């Protein structure tokens, strides 16, 4: 019987969500949407030592910003809740009990010191069929002693009894079949009495089963845990409905070998987190794609192609196109180099296509940061529309459009040298008169009048126009001059010409 596709993104709230985790969430989402399935967000917070306040909110906010929709989760609710593992203790207890009763797991009382001593005596020590009978556990202690210790409140763990010498087969959608001999596995801790919580492994399997998850799509770093997970499904009697495993390729450093790390980002100047993160303990701030001026659609498009390709050479794809085209058949086994420059290219492409009014809204914080106010959204939108093709990140828009919002503080010395001569103040004075006489400042009309005046007087077109630009923009850059003067109030344009005549004239003589 075909089951409804149900996938889950299952982060542990131990800090900011890494960009690799975002890609995992995205692939889960694309697969769920493509198959009309459900996307679950499960918070795996069973490790109280690694819990970081604010991390769960950060995860929610990141996914929302990127448009990765969640159908069931802590915020969304759903029929399979609770979706935070720390709220599911009662559920896990039942299954730990069952494994103990069926002799598939056992109590262990070894103290951290005893385990450390065992590891010191033998660096290859693992808790398994060869060593378990030498340790302090319910396999070696009499039953009444075990009972007595538990009743006395002694701390214990419950370990999974792994039968050695078995061939464990993991079927992975991307890697094919991987076989591992159970003798290399250790008797993993499944539960700790100290916090009355299971460990990741048990909680993860129990929840995937109870939440009717059909595909476990996660990073390759979890592949080594998969054989243990297969054995757990069997031990719990759920082998028939075991989800399909899909282990995604690693994200690799942009240069050199190995896994992408935060340090690569710091060194080369790109974020490895979706949103800015303020570490609650150290106060350290790590940069995020959102705050750096990336558009969420660009980040999604860029990430989608790290480890997957559409089978043709399309690059720019909307979320819907990604949903339609996504396929595990085109996911690679080998790691994907994190080409952050490609990410910047994607952002450039998306920025260019963003409607001007939306850009204006995204640009507001840039204006606020500089204490600039008094411009209508329409003015801002038209200004940005003229320069958006020249920017990569939202922040770059300021460098391109600054003169629309503030008069030049200085004039580019090279341009002054090249374009401003002794005669220029006089010609600029005439230009002021010409502009004052124009009622219709639309680009085409102003251009016609001004060029007519230049021609009639035999002036040098390039020099006059560049001096004009220098006065208004502060340098010989920017969009078409008459588009600028169509948007800017005429008295502002004239004021800037007069100011330039005064200031440059005084310094250059
Ligand atoms: N809680 C694990 C993590 O932090 C989940 C791994 C999995 O998807 O099974 O990534």
At 393-422, the pLDDT tens digits run 999 999 999 999 999 999 999 999 999 999
Q: What is the mean pLDDT of residues 34-63?
A: 95
Query: Cα–Cα distance between 315 and 151 in angstroms, integer?
Result: 63
Over residues 193-243, the pLDDT tens digits come to: 998 999 999 999 999 999 999 999 999 999 999 999 999 999 999 999 999
Beta-bridge partners for 288: 273
Cα separations in angstroms, 53 against 20, 21, 72, 279, 286: 21, 18, 22, 9, 16
Ligand 1 geometric centre to CA of 73 (Å): 15
Q: What is the mean pLDDT of the chain?
A: 96
Q: What is the mean pLDDT of residues 424-439?
A: 97
Asked if 68 and 26 touch (Cβ cutoff 8 Å), the reply is yes
Checking if the pLDDT of 505 tops 70, the result is yes
Tell me which residue of 17, 16, 34, 25 sits closest to 69, measured CA to CA: 25
pLDDT given at position 1: 58
Checking if the pLDDT of 509 tops 50, the result is no
Question: Which residues form ligand 1's pocket by a CB distance below 6 Å?
Answer: 10-12, 44, 200, 204, 218, 222
251-252 vs 6-9, strand pairing mode = unpaired
Ligand 1 geometric centre to CA of 218 (Å): 7
Mutation choice for ligand 1 from 209, 217, 222, CB with most ligand atoms inside 8 A: 222
Specify the residue with its C-alpha closest to ligand 1, atom 10.
11
Asked if 347 and 357 touch (Cβ cutoff 8 Å), the reply is no
pLDDT given at position 57: 97
pLDDT given at position 506: 52
pLDDT given at position 144: 97
Checking if the pLDDT of 100 tops 70, the result is yes
Query: Cα–Cα distance between 191 and 107 in angstroms, integer?
Result: 9
- The answer to whether 134 is a known catalytic residue is no
Ligand 1 geometric centre to CA of 183 (Å): 24
Atom of ligand 1 nearest to the CA of 21: 10
Strand (E) positions, 253-407? 277-278, 285-286, 336-337
Query: Cα–Cα distance between 456 and 491 in angstroms, integer?
Result: 25
Helix (H) or strand (E) holding 161: none
Total-model pTM: 0.92
pLDDT given at position 152: 97
Between helix 424-436 and helix 461-473 the angle, nearest 10°, is 80
Count of H-run helices and E-run strands, the chain:
20, 14
What proportion of the chain, given as a percentage, has pLDDT over 90? 97
List the catalytic residue out of 262, 337, 342, 490: 262
Helix (H) or strand (E) holding 208: helix 200-210
Query: Cα–Cα distance between 471 and 479 in angstroms, integer?
Result: 14
Checking if the pLDDT of 26 tops 50, the result is yes
Q: What is the mean pLDDT of residues 326-330?
A: 97
């Amino acid at each position: 019987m075909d089951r409804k596709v149900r996938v889950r993104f299952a982060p542990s709230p131990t800090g900011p969500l890494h960009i690799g985790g975002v890609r995992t969430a995205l692939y889960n989402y694309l697969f769920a949407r493509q198959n009309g399935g459900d996307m679950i967000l499960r918070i795996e917070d069973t490790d109280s030592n690694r819990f970081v306040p604010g991390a769960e909110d950060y995860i929610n906010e990141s996914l929302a910003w990127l448009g990765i929709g969640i159908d069931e989760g802590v915020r969304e609710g759903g029929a399979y809740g609770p979706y935070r593992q720390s709220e599911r203790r009662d559920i896990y207890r039942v299954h730990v009990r069952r494994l103990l009763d069926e002799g598939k797991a056992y109590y262990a009382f070894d103290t951290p010191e005893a385990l450390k001593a065992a590891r010191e005596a033998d660096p290859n020590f693992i808790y398994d069929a060869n060593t378990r009978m030498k340790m302090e556990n319910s396999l070696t202690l009499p039953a009444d002693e075990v009972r007595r210790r538990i009743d006395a409140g002694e701390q214990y763990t419950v370990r999974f009894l792994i039968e050695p010498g078995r061939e464990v087969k993991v079927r992975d959608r991307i890697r094919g079949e991987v076989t591992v001999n159970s003798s290399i596995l250790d008797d993993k801790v499944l539960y700790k009495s100290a916090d009355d919580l299971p460990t990741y492994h048990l909680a993860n399997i129990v929840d995937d089963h109870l939440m009717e998850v059909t595909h476990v799509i996660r990073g390759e770093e979890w592949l080594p845990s998969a054989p243990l997970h297969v054995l757990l499904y069997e031990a719990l009697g759920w082998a028939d409905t075991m989800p399909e495993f899909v282990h995604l390729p690693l994200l690799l450093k942009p240069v050199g070998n190995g896994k992408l790390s935060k340090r690569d980002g710091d060194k080369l100047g790109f974020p490895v987190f979706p949103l800015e993160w303020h570490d609650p303990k150290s106060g350290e701030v790590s940069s995020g794609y959102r705050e750096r001026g990336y558009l969420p659609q660009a980040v999604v498009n860029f990430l989608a192609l790290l480890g997957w390709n559409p089978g043709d050479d399309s690059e720019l794809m909307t979320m819907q196109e990604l949903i339609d085209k996504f396929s595990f058949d085109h996911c690679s086994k080998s790691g994907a180099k994190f080409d952050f420059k490609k990410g910047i290219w994607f952002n450039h492409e998306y920025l260019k296509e963003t409607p001007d009014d939306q850009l204006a809204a995204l640009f507001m914080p840039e204006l606020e940061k500089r204490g600039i106010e008094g411009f209508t959204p329409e003015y801002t939108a038209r200004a940005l529309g003229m320069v958006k093709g020249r920017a990569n990140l939202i922040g770059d828009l300021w460098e391109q459009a600054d003169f629309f919002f503030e008069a030049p503080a200085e004039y580019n010395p090279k341009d002054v040298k090249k374009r401003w001569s002794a005669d220029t103040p006089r010609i600029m004075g005439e230009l002021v008169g010409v502009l004052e006489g124009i009622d219709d400042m639309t680009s085409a009309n102003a251009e016609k009048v001004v060029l007519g005046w230049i021609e009639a007087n035999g002036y040098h077109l390039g020099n006059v126009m560049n001096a004009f630009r220098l006065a208004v923009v502060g340098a010989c850059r920017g969009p078409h001059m008459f588009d600028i003067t169509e948007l800017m109030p005429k008295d502002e344009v004239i004021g800037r010409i007069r100011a330039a005549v005064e200031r440059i004239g005084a310094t250059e003589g």
